[in-house]
Structures are given as structure tokens and as C-alpha cells.
């Protein structure tokens, strides 16, 4: 074989190797691109699923917060209505007709005398209380600021019973609040 043929043969072999290498590189490139595309699609699906899950969680959190806010607002509104009822009750007690007021305070004084004894004294809130005290044979110690009712003191001054309307209502407020709540909001 001549040198030219050898060179031509080497050139052909080199050309074939180059072609084979390029062909193999293109196959590998397509395989890599195909795998990358599959991986990218999997990653995109994973990101999409995470996004949907986060979105659902945020939605649940927002609904839960809105529900809590609604319940709190509803409870505050109910509490405001109940407080208005207490205010109206105090207003009603403050404006009791004399005959009803007299009966109520007489009952409170008699109950207090049973607990404190006959020698107790009174602090009064209204002029009519002095008349009631005279009828019940109890001395008046002084006056107090109240819409009605009396404060009773034991003879030795160690025990005091606050039977003012504000205190009576205040002591029963929790029980009354529950009762009023059941009446106003039965559900």
C-alpha cells in the first residue's frame, strides 16, 4: 500500500471515528436532555403539589382565624347585650316605686338582723331608708352613695353586710349572666 492510500485510509478511519463520536455524543445529549426533561417535570410536579398543599393549609388557617374572630365578635356582642341588661336592671332598681322599694329594703334589713343580731346599725342610701330603719328599730350610722339599699354593721363593727343594689347584683352577676345568656341566646 502506498503512502497516499494509508493516509487516505487513516483519514477515512478518523472521519468514521469522528462521525461515530459525534453520533454517540448526540445520542448521549438526547438521553441527557430527555432525563433532564423528566427530572424537571417531576420537580415541577413536586413544586406544584407543595404549592397546592401550602395553599390548602393557608386557606384552612384563614378560615380557622375568621371563625375564631367571628366567635369572639359574637361573644363580645352577647356580652355587651348582657351588660346592657345589667345596666337596665340597675336603672329599674333605682326607679322602684316607694312601696316596692320599702318591701325590698325591709326584707334585706330583716335578713341582715338575723345574721348580725338585733343591735346592728345601718348606713343608708335614701331618705326612705331612715323611715324603714325606725320601723325595724335599727339605728342609722350614716349615709352611703348608692342607687338604693343599705349596708348593715354588727354591733362590734367586725361584720358588714353590703346590701346595696349594686353589691347585690354584683355578687349574683355570674349566675345572672348565665341565666340571662340562656334566655337571650338559647342556642
- 8 A C-beta contact, residue 113 and residue 159: no
Mean of all residue pLDDT scores within the chain:
87
Cβ 139 vs Cβ 113: under 8 Å: no
Spell out the alpha helix ranges (H) of the chain. Answer: 3-94, 98-116, 127-135, 165-171, 173-184
The whole-number average pLDDT for the span 110-123 is 91
Q: Per-residue pLDDT tens for 134-180?
A: 999 999 999 999 999 999 999 888 999 999 999 999 898 888 888 87
Q: Are 167 and 149 in contact (CB under 8 A)?
A: yes
Question: What distances in angstroms separate CA 164 from CA 22, 144, 153, one per listed residue?
Answer: 105, 9, 13
Contact, 142 vs 123, CB < 8 A? yes
pLDDT exceeds cutoff 90 at 97: yes
Q: Whole-structure pTM over 0.85, yes or no?
A: no
Q: What are phi and psi of 118, to 5 degrees?
A: -70, -25
DSSP state letters, 105-118: HHHHHHHHHHHH-T
Helix (H, G, I), strand (E, B) or coil at 59: helix
Predicted pLDDT at 5:
77
Q: pLDDT: is 53 or 23 the higher one?
A: 53
At residue 2, does pLDDT exceed 80?
no
Over residues 35-49, the pLDDT tens digits come to 878 888 888 888 889
Over 70: is that where the pLDDT of 1 sits? no
Per-residue pLDDT, 64: 92
Look-up of cell digits 337596665: 88
At residue 179, the pLDDT reads 81
The string of pLDDT tens digits covering residues 73-85 is: 988 888 888 888 8
Residues 6+ apart with CB under 8 A from 44: none
Share of the chain above pLDDT 90, in %: 43
Cell reading at 165: 343594689
What's the pLDDT at 126?
92
Question: Measured between alpha carbons, how far is 181 from 187 in angstroms, rounded to an integer?
Answer: 10
Give the residue with greater pLDDT, 181 vs 60. Answer: 60
Amino acid at each position: 500500500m502506498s503512502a497516499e492510500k494509508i493516509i487516505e485510509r487513516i483519514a477515512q478511519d478518523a472521519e468514521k471515528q469522528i462521525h461515530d463520536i459525534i453520533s454517540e455524543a448526540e445520542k448521549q445529549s438526547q438521553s441527557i436532555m430527555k432525563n433532564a426533561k423528566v427530572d424537571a417535570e417531576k420537580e415541577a410536579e413536586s413544586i406544584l403539589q407543595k404549592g397546592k398543599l401550602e395553599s390548602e393549609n393557608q386557606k384552612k388557617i384563614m378560615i380557622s382565624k375568621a371563625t375564631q374572630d367571628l366567635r369572639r365578635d359574637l361573644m363580645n356582642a352577647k356580652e355587651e347585650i348582657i351588660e346592657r341588661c345589667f345596666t337596665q336592671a340597675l336603672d329599674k332598681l333605682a326607679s322602684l316605686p316607694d312601696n316596692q322599694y320599702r318591701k325590698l329594703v325591709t326584707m334585706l334589713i330583716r335578713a341582715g338582723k338575723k345574721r348580725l343580731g338585733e343591735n346592728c346599725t345601718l348606713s343608708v342610701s335614701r331618705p326612705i331608708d331612715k323611715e324603714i330603719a325606725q320601723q325595724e328599730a335599727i339605728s342609722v350610722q350614716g349615709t352611703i352613695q348608692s342607687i338604693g339599699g343599705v349596708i348593715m354593721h354588727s354591733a362590734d363593727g367586725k361584720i358588714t353586710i353590703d346590701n346595696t343594689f349594686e353589691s347585690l347584683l354584683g355578687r349574683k352577676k355570674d349566675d345572672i349572666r348565665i341565666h340571662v345568656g340562656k334566655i337571650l341566646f338559647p342556642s
